[in-house]
Chain A
Amino acid sequence: MLGFISWTASLATFFILGILLFDMVSDGFRIMMSVDFFTNGPEKAGRAGGIAPILVSTMLVVGIAIAVSIPIGLATALLLSEFTRRDSQFAFFVRKSLDILAGVPSIVFGLFGNAFFCVYLGMGFSILSGGLTLACMVLPILIRTTEESFRAVPNEFRHGIAALGFTKTASVFHLLMPMAIPGLVVGTILGVGRATAETAALIFTSGYVDRMPESVLDSGRTLSVHIYDLAMNIPGGDRMAYATSLCLVLILLSMSFLTNIIAKSVLQRGIYTS
């Protein structure tokens, strides 16, 4: 009985993935392969044409989010793993903040981004507002993976290099950081993936203008917002929505694939440099 239920549940999992991908691939693949899908802008409100400006906007939004969150994330992770004791009050405070940030629903980030970046700081609906909102959102996941990759470095190296008269700062740059790099790369890819998949936080921060953005202060529509708009607001936009979904899922899949490769190969080899 238990066996039967288990087998069914697992097959159902494959089945769901199967039909999810089948619909997307069968309807979306041909459009995605057409010449102008990646080079043209949307026409007839997205029913025809391509997604070039949307790809550019996505890259800009995600790029800003990552560029802003990486330095902050790296610094926070370094502080938590190398520069504070485990029982430090400050670290406790930061960790609690991160727990809260990780739990905030994305639409609430949207509300916040709209009120703070768009209205209060006067950035309006823009790629910059969207990117900054996403930066706040990916910070917890980035910090968690980065801190874990620093913690994965055994203490014997920390003690060994300290006994040679290195400052903590120097030991981070000369030894710990190079050893933690594979983990940092994996964390970054996870952050990029999370940012690329996000929709709700962006609708009211980066907006949904589907023209090619001329600067980061222009509004720009990301892939996921494009899918939402085509599916909900554009009758007959389904085929293009399938193609865009396929494109988005392929991007995310290749990122997770990349993460696995890095995690497997480089992580185990250590940091050999001559």
Chain B
Amino acid sequence: MLKIKDSSLLQTDNFVSSILKIAASVSAVIVILILGFLIRETADVPSRIGITSFFFDKTWNPTESQFNLIPMLAGSLLSTLGAVMLAIPTGVVCAVFLHLYANDPLRFILRRTLEILGGIPSVVYGFWGLVVLVPMINMWYPPGAGLSAAVSVLTIMILPTASLMIDAAFQAIPRQAVAGVRALGLERWEILTLCLIPQARLGILTATLLSVGRAIGETMAVLMVCGNIVQFPSSIFDPIRTLTANIALELGYAEGNHRSALYVSGILLLFIIAVLIVVISIYERQHQRAKYDSK
């Protein structure tokens, strides 16, 4: 008979499990800390500045106690809207190309290229926009830096990841579904509209929402090309300022109410992201339920 260790081994697992639980709580603690410190920095805002100031003051001029965030919120939303409206259709087209047109080596190279583009830091995109795009736009519509440059840089920045996500959604379609449509002898256009797009609907939607999140939260690339003037743009070539760029520009010297106002804009950003996360999870749950029901 072999000699075995006779200690109660089960206790090891319970012990290790509780240690791991403590470590795993760190993520939740960080979320709470982030919320807690954003709120802590803004706790006395309602009494000192008042919530309505952020929406109804004449303009954003913290040194004169003017705290209107709406122009910058508009800047964030407009640049995001423009970029997503350009990037998602282009992303679909890229993914279609990968699926229906490219041969294997080309597909491999294109995927790798997209991965590389997706990995380039946003500050590099911003810098490239500043020295290449802005002067280019400046030749036709001075001053160059503005909403259009911000939209272009954001589009280029989110396009690779969006294409890859849509491509993954296409790949997830069961082979039989595609083969079935192909067997009917349909044109590529019909394969696309009858099979690929309807089947990958949820994937495209998720890619869209994630792109919105990335674009709205992006700081560096936008900051370097958007002109940074607080105003409602009257044309797409007007300079704008986004919420994120505003924080990056002013946090360095902001004090008192000004600093609090920047943290309020942080909360606003977080709120937008939270709404997006909730929307995505609702869609995914609905999709899962639909899948479950059809079985």
A contact residues, total (Cβ < 8 Å):
76
Other A-B contacts than A103-B273, A199-B219, 9 sampled, CB-CB below 8 A, are A1-B189, A9-B97, A94-B28, A103-B276, A103-B277, A104-B34, A108-B269, A170-B9, A227-B124
**Is A139 an interface residue when CB atoms closer than 8 A count as contact?**
yes
> Whole-angstrom distance between the alpha carbons of A75 and B25 in the complex?
10
Q: Are A111 and B13 in contact (CB under 8 A)?
A: no
Contact B27 A94 (CB under 8 A): yes
Complex interface: chain B residues within 8 A of A19 (CB): 132
Q: A20-B128, A23-B131 are in contact. Are A105 and B37 (CB under 8 A)?
A: no
Number of A-B contacts (CB under 8 A): 231
21 A-B contact pairs sorted by A residue (CB < 8 Å): A1-B189, A3-B101, A10-B98, A13-B94, A13-B110, A13-B117, A75-B19, A75-B24, A97-B31, A98-B27, A101-B30, A103-B273, A105-B219, A106-B217, A109-B34, A114-B251, A115-B41, A140-B27, A203-B248, A203-B252, A252-B119
Interface of B is mostly: helix
Docked Cα-Cα span, A160 to B73, in Å, equals: 57
Q: Would you list which residues of chain B between 84 and 104 have a CB under 8 Å from chain A?
A: 90, 93-94, 96-98, 100-102
- Find out whether the CB atom of A79 lies under 8 angstroms from the CB atom of B20: yes
Distance of A140 Cα from B27 Cα, bound (Å)? 8
B184 within 8 A of A: no
Q: B220 at interface (Cβ–Cβ under 8 A)?
A: yes
Task: Assess whether B122 is in contact with A197, with CB atoms less than 8 Å apart.
Answer: yes
The reply on A35 being an interface residue by CB < 8 A is: no
How far is the CB of A87 from the nearest CB of chain B, in Å?
A: 14
CB within 8 A of B27: which of A97, A107, A248? A97
Given the known interface contacts A10-B110, A136-B30, the answer about A245 and B273 at a Cβ–Cβ threshold of 8 Å is no
Least CB distance, A15 to chain B, in whole angstroms? 11
B158 an interface residue at 8 Å Cβ cutoff? no
A157 contacts chain B at the CB level, 8 A cutoff? no
